[in-house]
Structure 1
């Protein structure tokens, strides 16, 4: 049975993801980034994350050929315009923070930063899968920008977070009390 790529993309779009901008320096030392929603945690020991980059993208070429450190910038719910900016629709002035310790640029005002050095890459068809070894991370308060069925979304006020077992959100077995902003 032949798979229609457009229908497969439509089907896969029903899985809600967060939205990130993966950033690095280009060969001339300028900051470069691309909006990426294929990002996941892989390992705590060693600390590894995975991003999936389109082989045709400039960012993919920089990370692959130049073996450049990169930062995964997790976008906050109000940063739809920033996501669009790095998806090829420049609309706003971009705020940058000073470089991370691993030599990758970081965006200002995002929910979290995960700065990595390349660990390994794998063939992923029309994408390359990059494992990055986490060198530094920062967490900020806020809610995530979400992507579902081709549109941006955010968590509603009725969202009630739930902590389970060994969640990365808190120590195992600890009673969890929602933050007032999460109520």
Structure 2
């Protein structure tokens, strides 16, 4: 039975994600798009992945170009909307490094990436980038869940990953389990 696109989108909306703006330079001008389909791929080499709809301008620009992943802070919902096609009234502030792609000012974190590979992803293109530079600041992220922006709740008192038997650095391993 075929899956209806709206049904799939609604289901996927139950997975909370951070909000990023992917940016690159095209003929001396910065361009960007709001993207929540971003993930880490590898620590060695340091790789990240962004998934872009084939119909977007940024998708056509990104092929073979360096790009930045700008992780938005909780108060930057206006920036997210701006790069999703709802322009804001005040100008966007860019940081233009001497080398590397442009990035947004005031973001929670940014990663400057060199193009690594691009893959067919159906109606999307999956771009892998090798992280060349990164920076983080203190604050909370902008969160997207079920079609809207949300605030991050309080942290748990323990780190579940560190307590897991699946944690790579864990000293305890289950032996003899099939």
TM-score of the superposed pair, with normalisation by structure 1: 0.84
Q: Confirm or deny: 8 A CA contact 1:76 1:144 kept in the other structure.
A: yes
Aligned to 2:44: 45
Structure 2 residue 91 is matched with structure 1 residue 93:
yes
Distance 1:120 1:25 in 2: 18
Number of the residue aligned with 2:162: 165
The aligned counterpart of 1:110 is 107
TM-score under structure 2 length normalisation: 0.86
Question: Is the alpha carbon distance of 1:11 and 1:100 closer, same or farther for their aligned partners in structure 2, counting shifts above 3 Å?
Answer: farther
1:142 partnered with 2:144: no
2:6 is aligned with 1:6 = yes
Q: Which consecutive residues of structure 1, in runs of 5 or more, have no partner in the other structure?
A: 167-171, 174-183
Contact kept? 1:100, 1:115, Cα under 8 Å: no
Following superposition, the deviation at residue 159 of structure 1 comes to 3.3
Q: From the CA coordinates, give the structure whose radius of gyration is larger.
A: 2
Q: How far apart, CA to CA, are the structure 1 residues paired with 2:157 and 2:111?
A: 22
Matched length: 163
Alpha-carbon offset, residue 52 of structure 1: 0.2
Deviation at 1:98, TM superposition (A): 2.9
Q: Note the C-alpha offset of 1:155.
A: 1.0
C-alpha RMSD of matched pairs (Å): 1.7
List per-residue Cα deviations over 1:110-167 (Å, max 9, x = no partner). 00001001100111000000110000000111000000000001113x333643339x
Equivalent in the alignment of 1:21: 21
Task: Please state whether the residue corresponding to 2:128 is helix, strand or coil.
Answer: strand
C-alpha distance in 2 between matches for 1:136 and 1:37 = 20
Name the SS for the 1:165 alignment partner.
helix
**What is the deviation of 1:99?**
1.8
